[in-house]
Each structure stands twice: as structure tokens, then as C-alpha cells.
Structure 1
Amino acid sequence: MSPRSFLAAALAFSFLTTGCVAGTTGASESSASDQPFEGEVEFWTINLKKNYSAYIDGLIAAYQKQHPKVTVNWVDVPGTESATKLLAAVASGDVPDAVNVNSIELGRFVPSLEPLDAYFGTAELADFQPNLVEPLRTGGKLYAVPWYNGGAPVAMYRKSVMGKVGFDPEKPPTSYDEALALADKVHDQAKVHGFNALPDHNTLRYYGIELISADKKKAAFNTPDALAVLEKFKKSYDAEGIAPGAVSKDTRNLPQTLDNGQIAFKATANAAELLNLQKNAPDVYQDLAVTPPVRMKEGGYLLLAQQAFAIPRASKQKKAAAEFIKYFTNGVNQLAFCKIVPIYPSTVSSAKDPFFTDVTGSDPMSVARSVIVKGLPELKYVPIGTAKDAELGELLSEEVRAFITGTKTAKEALDTAEKRWNDALA
């Protein structure tokens, strides 16, 4: 998917079917030390050629000039076909040498990927933000290196509505409990729904609730604390602090949104939503106060996904692929990409550039950039860590919707979700 699509869809789960990818072993494997730094490197990205050819072609040309023995063959794969094509490549043994992978999908491909520790040592990883590198390890081994992400979340408040309830943008809610209380207050006093979110597996994380056992074999979220979270959201939903359309399964097209003026705020959101508001609802955009979002119980913010690069185990050009990935993802090149598309880097040096640190202006996008950059060091990417993360998330959401609409009690919803998780993990 394109960087802009990636940002806009950051709260959505992968559309892909689940299942592990078998590893590829045999004569095609070789170690870091016995491969020449030359030859053709097949390099895959996801849906970038249409809008960003000049940037990527420029990087490839510059790299090949520096390394005349290396030819980089760039293959851009449509977003809807990226996993299918990689699955087919792994099955056939004819794999790309460097491949762009969405972190949500990384777990299912790990068995067919090359551990990168022999290619990316401490020095090579020094400029990457550690909080983005560590989640890409499985069993102590590094299977991908980070590229770009949607940045830290922000919060958005409609000043024309929030002014009626004495809201101070310098003191926004710092927890979901505070956001729920504010939502109820907004509906009581301003007769506008507060926000449109229901608790999902990521919300439970914000409350400090573990989702899965350490061995990744059992659900761990069915606790009194989780039941209490569901009850809090149900109470706000019944009081219309949470908009009625929040129970819709299609979270990208909810009936009540900031765009149509039927909710007052979003306590945590991806900044890319501001681009849509600026284009489709300019009056709402100009009415927004952008602030830091709610925080996790232990502090920091949850990053829902990041784009990364991996090397298939069957590649015959692992060393050359690793060297090109180092170049492609270095701080200078990530900064250049961030200047042409609203994404955020995984490198510390990029985030320290004046482009991010010397942000001026009071418009929502400018304020959002400042909020995001300050939040980057506090980002936490904590996937469920299975090959079925997307499926598990939706299974829990289905049961939460059943509870919110009155079909089940909170206990019944959590009991059913727990069983469905355990069945899927078995």
C-alpha cells in the first residue's frame, strides 16, 4: 500500500487470510560470509511506483553508481496482491532478495525469512529507534528492519463544540477513562456525541491488559479488568457519549464522524485523517484543536503497524540485499521520503532534522507534526505476535459488538472470545 493509504488505514487490520508460511531450506541457503557483494538484487515494494517512481529510481541509480557490480531490479507489487505474490514466490523458491513487509503480516512469514543478525549488527542498527527494532525480533532473532510508519497518534477536538463544555486543549484527556467521562459530558451539555470508538484488543492494551500468554498459545485477556473496561464503554454507549454507529463492523465508514460533524472529538487518531478532513470537510478542519492523545497505562502510545524490509531465506543475494536495505533505509534517505509524503521515519537522525523539530504554524497539520515528533520516542509496537493477529483482533471485536448491542453480557462476550482465540491458536 502507498504511504498515504498506509497512514489512513493504520487502525484497520490486514485483509489477508491467516496461516503460516513454510520455511524454505536446502541448497539455496548460504551464510552472510560466503556471498559476494555483487549481482542482481530483486527489490520489492508495495504500491509505490505510481506516485514515487522519481524518488525510488533516483535512489537506485545513485546506489548502482556507487556499486557498479550490483544491479537493482525494482518490482512494485499492488497492495492487494503483496502477500499472495510473496506466498507464491516462497512456494516456488524464486523469491525477491529484499522485500517490503507490513509488520502486521511479519509473523506469518518468519519461517521463510532469513535472520538478519549476521548482516545488521549494533553499528548498523544504531540509528534505528530501538522501540521499533525490538518488536521485529522473534525468538531473539531479527527478521526485519523498520522503514516508515504512521507516526505517533494525535487527538482532535472540535473547538466549536468543546468550548461549550469548558474544554481546555492544554489539558486533554490522558486516559480512556477521562475520554469516556468527557464524551458523556459533551453529549449531556452540547447534545453532540463525544466520539465513536468501541474497545478492541488495542484498547485493552491501553488499560495494561495482557492479550495472550507468554507462549502465544492461549488468550489471556479474559480478566475482571477487561470486563470492567467493557462495562465502562457500554455505559457511555448507552448514554450516547459514544455515537450509536460505533457498533458498525465497517470502521472506515462509520455513520457518525468528525467529517459530518456528528461527533465532537477523537481521543486517539492517525494524523493522516487530517488530510481527509482538510480535503473533504475544510470547515471542520479549521475548527480542530490538535493535542497529544490518550496514553497507555504504563505510558507511551501504541503504534498499530510499521513498514519494514526482510530478506527471504531462499535468496541467493542476501549480502547484497542487506547492503541495499541499509542504504535505502538510512537516515538521509528516509528524511528525503518524509519530505514528499506524510510519513514518519524509523531513524533517530531523521527525526532530529529541522524539518521535524522546527515546525511552525498553528494550523492542525503543523500542530500534529509537532505532537507526533515529540511522541515518536514513546511509540510502542507490540503485536499479538502470532501468524493470526488480524483474525484474532476481529474475533474479539465481534464479541464486543455483541455485548454493546445487548446480545450478550460482558462475561459471555469475553468467554466466547477467549474460546475462539484458543481454538484459532490451537
Structure 2
Amino acid sequence: MRISRRAVAAATVLATVLPLSACGGGSDSDSSDASGDIKGKITFQTWNLQANFKDYFNGVIKDFEKEHPGTTVKWVDRPAEGYSESLSADAAGGTLPDVVNIAPDLVAPLAKAGLALDLDKDTTAASYRKEYLDGAWKSHQIPGLEGTYGFPWYLNTGPMFYNKRLLKDAGLDPENPPKTYDELFDQGLKIAEQTGGKVATLGQVPTIEDFGRYGAELMNKEGDAFTFNDAKGVAMLARYKELFDKKALDPQVLTATPETTGTKFLTEAIAMNPGNAHDLETFKKDAPSLYKNIGITDQITSTGKVNMYVMGVMVNSKTKEKPAAVAFAHYVTDPTRQMSFAKKVAIFPSTAGSLEDPYFNKEDGTDETRVRIAAAKSLKKAVNYTPVLFSEQMKTELRNNVAKALQGKQSPQAALDQAVEACNKLLKQS
């Protein structure tokens, strides 16, 4: 099971469905502290994890209940499809679980509606902050609100895979792949030129994370307006337009999905594609000719910092069993549990010091371990480039305007100006 990318992230659904009476900014200001007796019945909701990790979570729950007699944890697992809709329904109906598996963009509307506990305000929750990587803790902070609204849980990042044969055939050094975007653009143009446009380098259009890794300022310092139409953003989109014109982007790039792009890479129709350690197993099984020529390098970035994806655990500010809810949310995400979970699936712990474990540092000669070690190293300086307030609707606006620029219907500057205008309008409506 792949959980390196979130299957859904429609935070705008939450923003529109939550009752207006719940809005008002921030978590309960008069909530009691979570320092009381840890007891009572709480509900814990996860996001599409039961099918593959039933024994693991049942074990975690059993251990917690044993350590805290008088507590009962009911586990509910929701499918990936419709997860945000189920959250919005629970929030609107007053049935939000006590502890919820969440991502930063999904916690934002809940925090604004006062339904997410501010961990920084709660003395007990705040005392755990030192256990987590600083960047991971900050990932659940919301622009415009003070506080932190979720315990960091697992992180993920991944390398860039590339086809050594395709680079070599184009006269490039297969042992020296591009590291920055400008190097990527230059090598992509050469591959297209040498193959007469038959081999593309990339299979997807740039996302908000790409603009961040290129060095564009995604939002202003106040966090109330998007600004990725700056000089850096325009320059990057102009280079993508050049790639598109020279057939260095796949012909179906405007309608591509991660799945279709992955297939293109498997069939050696494109030279480079991001991924994770799970993909190596697929290459071995389904594309042995690709696997023997596979190259593994860091994510492309011009800032020196790669992108990381973050998952978290939120405490419902309205829970009737706050001490138990906070204790369990911390228990699931503490260093011991995070290390245990990381060894069952290709994710990384967000707890301080965990990435120093030999599991993330000791080579054993396998590609899988090589990927894991490289990713763990990069996470120490990684950034969650996706703005917490960047909704699915905003992602669509960006994608549509990028497509207009690539097709020549608008200049890169005009396309990004329009995308920023649309996203800022949506931001004010949220």
C-alpha cells in the first residue's frame, strides 16, 4: 500500500460545509487543560489504514489501554475516497471523533471553526513539543491563527528516479543527473533534441511544490495572500513552456496523473519521475529492463531543501475526555510508536532523533535501503512547501492556468497573475 501521497485533500469541502455558527477562529479558549485523569472512552479515526495495518493499530490500542486502566479506545477507519466529506459531515453534525488522523490542509478549516485543539495552549500537549522535529511541529500551524493544531505523525519524501540509458543515449553523463531545476531544464532540452522529441524528460506540469522548490515566494509573510507570480515563479513557468514547445514534456502532460506518468516511466517513454522505495519493487517485477538502468538521485530543488509530505493527529477540542484524547494522540505519535510504524511501511518518523537510528543510516547494499537513507538525510532540512491553506480548488486553478501558459494562450506572467488572483479570492472566501 502506498501512503506517500495523500489520496484526497479537499479542504474546501470542509470550509463550505462547516456550520457558520462554528466559525470564529481558533480552538476553544475556555477548554480545560488535559492534565486530569486519563480515563474514559474515546474514538480514534484513521485514514485508509485498517486494511494493511490492522494488527499494528490493535496492538497500539491494547498497549495504551493496558498502560492507562479505565480507558477504552474505539478505532474507526475511513476510506481514502470521501475522507474530507466524512470529516465535514462529522464536524457539521457534532460527531467528530476525539482523535483524528489528519493532514495540514484538512485541519485548517477545523481549526478556524474552533474544533481542533490548540496544542500550544494546552499545558500537557505543549510539553511534548520537544519530542518532535521543529519543521514537523510547525506544519500544523495555520496562517492567521496562533497555535498548533495537530501532533506531527509520519513524514514522507522521495527521490527522483531516472533512466540511465536514456541519459546516456542523449550524450549526457548517467552518473551526473540534474540536481537543480535549471540543470533539469537544460538536460531535458538536450534529450528532446537528441531523440527528435521521441523521449520526454518529465511527464507532469509543475505543482505548487515545484514553485516552492524553485525559490518562488508562495505566500506573503502575513499568510493572507499568495505570491507565486513573482519573478522566480514566472521564470520557472517560462522554462516549462520551453520544454513543452521542444517536446521535452510528455505529449499527454496536460491530462497526466501520477499513475499515468508512472506508467510512462515504466515503459521508458519519459526519462525522469519522482517516487519512493515502493516503486523499486514495481520496477523489479514489471520492468526489469528499466530496473537494470535505474538511477536514483535527490529531489530536484534550487533551494537546497526538498519537499516533505506530512500527516498528523488532531485532538477534537470538544472532546469530553480531553486527558485521554491528548494522551492517546501523543502515544500514537511518540518516538517508540513512530519508529515501529516506520519499519512496517516506507514512511519516516517526525520525532526528534529518530532519523539518527541505524535503520535510517546503515547501508546494506540494497537499493531500498539506499533510497531510505537518502530520504532520511534530506528530511532533516526538508520543507512542507504546500501552503496549509492551498486547497484542491486552488490546485485546480493553478493547473488550469499553467496549461494555458504551456499552450501559448497566455504568457507565463499573465497565467500566474490569473492563478494568484483566483487563489486569493478563494482564500478570502474560506
Same fold (TM over 0.5): yes
Ranked by relative contact order (alpha carbons within 8 Å, sequence separation 6 or more), the top structure is: 1
Does residue 142 (structure 1) correspond to residue 148 (structure 2)? The answer is yes
Instruction: Say if 2:28 and 2:117, in contact at 8 Å, map to a contact too.
Output: no
The 5-angstrom pairing of residues 85-104 of structure 1 reads 85-104=86-105
Q: Secondary structure at the match of 1:142?
A: coil
Corresponding residue number in structure 2 for 1:397? 399
**Equivalent pairs: percent with the same residue?**
26
Q: 1:31 to 1:154 in 2, by over 3 A?
A: same
What do the CA deviations read for 1:5-50 (whole angstroms, capped 9, x no partner)?
Answer: 321x35x762564452453899997311574311112111112122
C-alpha separation in 1, matches of 2:153 and 2:331: 11
Counterpart CA distance in 1 for 2:109 and 2:277 is 28
Aligned match of 1:219 in 213, 222, 226? 226
Q: CA deviation at 1:408?
A: 2.4
In structure 1, the partner of 2:297 is: 291
Q: Is the 2:110–2:116 Cα contact (8 Å) retained in structure 1?
A: yes
| Secondary structure of residue in 1 paired with 2:184 | helix
Q: Which digits, 9 at most, give the CA deviation of each residue in 1:343-362, with x for residues without a partner? A: 11112333222222113124
TM score, norm. by length of structure 2: 0.88
Contact 1:245–1:255 under 8 Å retained in 2: no
Q: Does 1:53 align with 2:81?
A: no
CA contact (8 A) 2:14 2:110 kept: no
Q: Structure 1: which 5+ residue stretches go unaligned?
A: none
In structure 2, do the counterparts of structure 1 residues 170 and 160 end up closer, same or farther at CA, with 3 Å as the change threshold?
A: closer
Call closer, same or farther: CA 1:27–1:140 in 2, change over 3 Å: closer
Q: CA deviation at 1:296?
A: 3.8
Please tell me the residue identity of whatever aligns with 1:223.
D
Partner of 2:161: 156
2:402 and 2:23 mapped to 1: Cα distance?
A: 39
Does residue 360 of structure 1 match 2:364?
yes
Shifted more, 315-324 versus 35-44: the winner is 35-44
Match of 2:382 among 372, 379, 393: 379
State the AA in 1 paired with 2:3: F
- Taking a change above 3 Å as real, the CA distance of residues 33 and 398 of structure 1, as seen in their structure-2 partners, is closer
1:122 deviates by: 6.0
Deviation at 1:414, TM superposition (A): 2.1
Please point out which of 6, 14, 19 is paired with 2:3: 6
Aligned residue number for residue 343 of structure 2: 339
Deviation at 1:309, TM superposition (A): 0.3
Structure 2 unaligned runs (5+)?
A: none
Check the 8 A contact 2:214/2:301 in 1, yes or no: no
Which deviations, in whole Å up to 9, do the C-alpha atoms of 1:367-399 show, x marking residues without a partner?
A: 21121111110111143232x522212201101
> 1:104-123, aligned counterparts within 5 Å?
104-111=105-112, 112-117=115-120, 118-120=122-124, 123=127
2:46 corresponds to 1:42: no
Equivalent in the alignment of 2:70: 69
Give, in angstroms, the shift of residue 404 of structure 1.
0.7
Larger CA deviation: 270-279 vs 96-105 = 270-279
Rounded Cα–Cα distance in structure 1 between residues aligned with 2:37 and 2:163: 58
Sort the Cα spacing of 1:351 and 1:289 in 2 relative to 1 into closer, same or farther, 3 A.
same
Per-residue deviation, residues 205-250 of structure 1 (Å, max 9, x unmatched): 1222122333444332223332222111111221122222212254
Question: Could you tell me which amino acid in structure 2 is paired with residue 213 of structure 1?
Answer: N
- Is the alpha carbon distance of 1:127 and 1:180 closer, same or farther for their aligned partners in structure 2, counting shifts above 3 Å? same
How does the TM-score come out when normalised to structure 1?
Answer: 0.89
Q: Does 1:425 align with 2:420?
A: no
> In the superposition, relative to structure 1, how do residues 333 and 255 fare at CA in structure 2: closer, same or farther (>3 Å)?
closer
Q: The residue matched to 1:80 in structure 2 has which SS?
A: coil
- Contact kept in structure 2, 1:29 and 1:313, CA below 8 Å: no
